[in-house]
Structure 1
Amino acid sequence: MKIIRSKSFTAERAWGALDIANMNGITTRLHWTDQPYKWHVNDGQEVFVVLDGRVQMRYREGGIEQQTLLEVGDIFYASIGTEHVAHPLGAARVLVIETEGSV
């Protein structure tokens, strides 16, 4: 059993993570960041939940770059093959659920 107070979590570097669970190869991790990630495509599906802060999510559909602003409580689902990059606007805490070892 664990209780995690996400608002108090910080990391030593951008996108540092606290491993919460690994359920049959699906990981749940809490990330802290104040810097953009990198454009990437995950090995599987990804669920990205903003717990604190704001994140501008950029993604490509049909080769065309799109973007949306994610606020606290918003969820971004990246299906297999979705190229995307997260740009926090200040510090953010994000819950990420994805296949173990994914980018």
Structure 2
Amino acid sequence: MKVFRGSTFKADRPWGAVDIANMGGVTTRLHWTDQPYKWHINDGEEVFAVLAGRVEMHFRDETGAEQSALLESGDVFYAAVGTEHVAHPIGEARVLVIEREGSV
């Protein structure tokens, strides 16, 4: 058993993470960041939960048009297979990410 403090975790670099679990090839990781990630498409589905802070999530809809949603503490973003997206934190953010092992 281990407790992870999502509200105070801090990595040594943007998008640094601590591995929480690997359940049959699906990873759960706690990330800290203060910088945007990069546009990407995961190898599978992704669940992105903001534990602390705010994140502007940009994504492309089915027509390819860019959309965005402001995520605050407690909000969850689900990226279906093939969803291109990028996270832009507003200040520091702590995020729980659940995705296929080895996904970007």
The TM-score normalised by the length of structure 2 is 0.98
Query: What is the aligned partner in structure 2 of residue 49 from structure 1?
Result: 49
Q: In 1, Cα distance between the equivalents of 2:8 and 2:56? A: 22
2:28 — aligned with what?
Answer: 28
Look up the SS of the partner of 2:67 in the other structure: strand
1:2 is aligned to: 2
1:71 correspondence with 2:72 = yes
Give, in angstroms, the shift of residue 6 of structure 1: 1.2
d(CA) in 2 for partners of 1:72 and 1:28? Answer: 18
| Mapped partners of 2:5, 2:68: distance in 1 | 29
Equivalent residue for 1:84? 85
Amino acid paired to 1:55:
V
Give me the whole-angstrom Cα distance separating, in 2, the residues matched to 1:14 and 1:38.
Answer: 12
Any gaps of 5 or more consecutive residues in structure 2? none
Q: How many residues align?
A: 103
Percent identity reads: 71
Q: Which residue of 1 aligns with 2:15?
A: 15
Whole-Å separation in 1 of the counterparts to 2:73 and 2:11: 19
1:8: how far off? 1.8
- Which sections of structure 1, spanning at least 5 residues, go unmatched? none
